[in-house]
Structure 1
Amino acid sequence: MITRKLYLLGGNTSQEEANIHFAKAAGGQDARIALLIVYRKGWEAFLPHYTKHWISEGVQENNISVVVPNEKDELNTAEMTEILSGATGIFIGGGHSATYYDVYTKEPIKKLLLSKYAAGIPLAGNSAGALLMPQTVLLSPHDTDNQQAWNGKGLGILQNQLISVHFSQWQDEPNLLSGLHQHNIPLGYGIDGDACLYLEDEQPTAVFGNEQVKRIEKGTL
């Protein structure tokens, strides 16, 4: 029986416990991991922050493939499809959340991600990557260029839930509560920077890391 595995990291790309668990779930020494990021100058130098714990678990460096758009935020669709088709684990990185949204919630990559996840391929997202997973994406005022909260249609892996990242660091509970009421969504999870909410079949199963995940219900307000 297939178990769907989802990792929502709140901000620390290198959170050790979550990354080790993800690498093992992806196959350890036999894993083929697709790392999805957005373009920024010097992005190659940042890769070890993602990969170091995977490699420590035996993942071969040449089996880690990076999907990155060009400077115009355009993806090579053929290359992306080939990488994702062979992946045994997919990790969506962190950075400028609006750019991640524009690149990774559109077709054809949305359909590919949903198909791989439904087939039991572990899917992880850190910060911006985690925010894309629900049906409704909620961006904090701390996370937008104009310091205004923003929402849009996400990947839809999580239904009737909202996700907030850097939760304690950004003191983001008022924004999460406001989002729950605005969109009539019953439940949200606030994930601290050094925490990871791990779900199996979309049900919370464990919390990794040194900080906390807070469950927020709409009626809290």
Structure 2
Amino acid sequence: MTSEHQSGTLIIIGGAEDKEQDCRVLREFVRHAGGVKARIAVLTAATTMPGEVADEYIEVFHRLGAEDVRIVHTESARDTEDADNIATIEQSTGIFFTGGDQQRLVDMLADTPLHKAVRQQYASGSTIAGTSAGAAMMPDMMIVEGDAQTHPRPEIVKMGPGLAFLPDVIIDQHFAQRGRLGRLLAALVIEPSVLGLGIDENTAVVVESDEFSVIGSGAVTVVDETASTHNNLDQLLKDEALAVFGIALHILPEGYRFNLKQRQPIAPDG
């Protein structure tokens, strides 16, 4: 796993980030996007309440010092080709995907001129952030939906294509709060040889080159299935329980890092 072809930063947020007090996670996004000189584009494709959600992020980003905050609404396919929307992306130093429904987001944006403009900005060094559904869509394969608070079974998770900003991982959000370990494990067995990141609420991973660091009040659960010695997926009927041997699991609170290429956690003094 490597991100050598990318030169920007990803900030992937587990949802329910603080917007009223210290705003630790959103503050880090604004800082990476250029601080008071940041030019931020907020994409509302995932939500059915784009106006309300946009107003909330405009207020918090202005409060944190970013003077140039623009909204890109995509209510139809024509909006993904609109010259003004694409220009907003091309002029941005930070692009923020709101929460909502990750399948709605991908259906609207995948392989459109707007998606290509976002990818180009990332390759040129801009910071791309997403929360909740905006986090789930970051990999090339994403969790579309699935049952929480249950043991892993093939039926509890549905997978689909994401927008491929961070290949070779699977991301699950609201992780500890909604008890999603079972569905992440099921997803990793269905999509083998990828790394699972379970990101708690008000918590984010900041991905730069081949490493990510953890910020926020929760933790990131890293599940590595690549060295697994056994699973029973090919023997199961739809509603039967998965067995998995030899999975590596790491819990990383704020200050800890992880090397994606070497698949190794790094302590603060490491």
Indicate the TM-score class for this superposition, using the shorter chain for normalisation. 0.7 to 0.9
Check 1:139–1:69 CA distance in 2 against 1; reply closer, same or farther (3 A cut).
Answer: same
User: 1:32 offset after TM fit, Å?
Assistant: 1.0
Q: How does 1:184-199 map to 2 (within 5 A)?
A: 184-199=192-207
Paired position in structure 2 for 1:211: 218
The equivalences for 1:41-56 within 5 A come to: 43-56=50-63
Residue aligned with 2:166, SS:
coil
Are residues 1:166 and 2:174 paired?
yes
Q: Paired residue for 2:102?
A: 97
In structure 2, the partner of 1:10 is 14
Aligned residues: 213
Gaps of 5+ in 2: 1-5, 149-154, 229-246, 249-270
What's the TM-score, normalizing by structure 2?
0.71
Which residue, 133, 138, 161 being the options, matches 1:133? 138
Task: Compute the displacement of 1:150 (Å).
Answer: 2.1
Take 1:40 and 1:211, find their aligned partners in 2: how far apart are those partners? 24
Quick check: 1:37–1:68 contact (8 Å CA) kept in 2?
A: yes
- Whose Rg is larger? 2
Which aligned runs of 4 or more in structure 1 are off by greater than 4 angstroms? 39-42
Contact 1:162 1:185 survives alignment (8 Å)? no
Change (3 A) 1:183 1:22: same
Q: What is the aligned-residue RMSD (CA, Å)?
A: 2.4
Match of 1:120 in 2: 125
For normalisation by structure 1, the TM-score amounts to 0.86
Structure with bigger RCO (C-alpha 8 Å, 6+ apart): 1
Which of the two has greater helix per residue? 1
Instruction: Report the Cα offset of residue 9 of structure 1.
Output: 0.5
Q: Which runs of 5+ in 1 are unaligned?
A: none
- Of the structure 1 ranges 32-41 and 78-87, higher mean CA displacement relative to structure 2 is found in 32-41
CA–CA distance in structure 2, aligned partners of residues 41 and 113 of structure 1: 21
